[in-house]
Structure 1
Amino acid sequence: MASDEAKNRSAAGAAHCIVLFDGVCSFCNGWVQFLIKRDQRDVFRFAALQSDFAQSLLAAHGVESGEMNSVVAVEGTKLFDKSGAVLHIFKRLGGMWKLLFIFSVVPRPVRDAVYLWIARRRYQWFGKYDSCMLPTDSMKRKFID
């Protein structure tokens, strides 16, 4: 998929926050399940980082393939990564979850260091799938690509 097409699909879903996640990571898949269950306002759409769509969307935002290896949030023209992505997602989730956005007062280098420490160990702690998760029929509309 060309990066122009990724931009168009992203623009078409501008009302949605697109969450890119590591499709083979058990922890990341659990995070997606957590968000789907709590997304009462239908804010989120999901795509595995390994998908052509995700790679095109990242390229459209000037991010090299393989540079991102866990969660990324894209909303409109803005891309959020590492701890910034997690905080943005909680903010958009709404309800009591948006209170976690208070952690944005912690300096980004500190937040990102904690995020990267967990991200580097996620396969060891939670495991890894051989392939990306396949959404159930009821979840398919939440996934791109």
Structure 2
Amino acid sequence: MAELPARAPFSYRDDPAVPAFEDSGPVTVMDGDCALCSFGARMIARFDHAERFKICPAQTALGTALLGHYDLSPDDPESWLLLYDGQAYASLDAMIRAGALVGGIGHALWPLRGLPGPAQDWIYRRIARNRYRLFGRSDMCALPDEKLKARLLLK
């Protein structure tokens, strides 16, 4: 699993580079131009019946600042971040945890937790590096449906 720098819970709140944002529930930061990520964002909006999740495109000022706080880059295809209860998770670990939090079909990713960290990283890196070629591009913010629109953090 991708290792993030050790940070205190909610440490981004004290980082002057990170704009204030609604963080009472889980927040995902993902590539807003990736069709696979856009699909994931739509699935979160569709299946998160408790409406807890917020979704932040990596290309926004907030997304870039959050990724930078955790030493990740919006230009790196492997940057996918989940903030939950102030803790940060990255890459496949973030996706698995987000799926479990969403529930329903999201639990389909949970068995991947049983894989050793290096195997998870290998799988994630292969998909992340080839995501545009495999799935194409799609602007998640272009014409979002109302459920997705309500979740987007576009600061």
TM-score range, shorter chain: 0.7 to 0.9
Count of aligned pairs between the two proteins: 139
Mapping for residues 1-145 of structure 1, pairs under 5 Å: 3-4=15-16, 6=18, 8-9=20-21, 12-14=22-24, 16-61=25-70, 63-66=71-74, 68-69=76-77, 70-95=79-104, 97-98=106-107, 100-129=109-138, 133-134=141-142, 135-145=144-154
Unaligned ranges ≥5, structure 1: none
Q: Is the 8 A contact 1:21 1:49 kept in 2?
A: yes
**Cα distance change of structure 1 residues 122 and 92 upon mapping to structure 2, 3 Å threshold:** same
* Equivalent-residue separation in structure 2 for 1:5 and 1:24 (angstroms): 23
Say whether the 8 Å CA contact 2:99–2:105 is kept in structure 1: no
Q: Structure 2 CA distance, aligned partners of 1:100 and 1:26? A: 18
How many percent identity over aligned positions?
20
Measured after TM superposition, the shift of residue 66 of structure 1 is 3.9
| Alignment deviations for residues 34-74 of structure 1 (CA, whole Å, 9 cap, x no partner) | 1111110112101111110011122333x143464342211
CA-CA distance at 1:137 after TM superposition: 4.6
| TM-score, normalising length: structure 2 | 0.76
Q: Deviations over 1:7-58 (max 9, x none)?
A: 742xx423x1111111111111111111111110112101111110011122
Please report the RMSD computed on the Cα atoms of aligned residues, expressed in angstroms. Answer: 2.5
1 or 2, which has the higher helix percentage? 1
Structure 2 alignment gaps of length 5 or more? 1-13
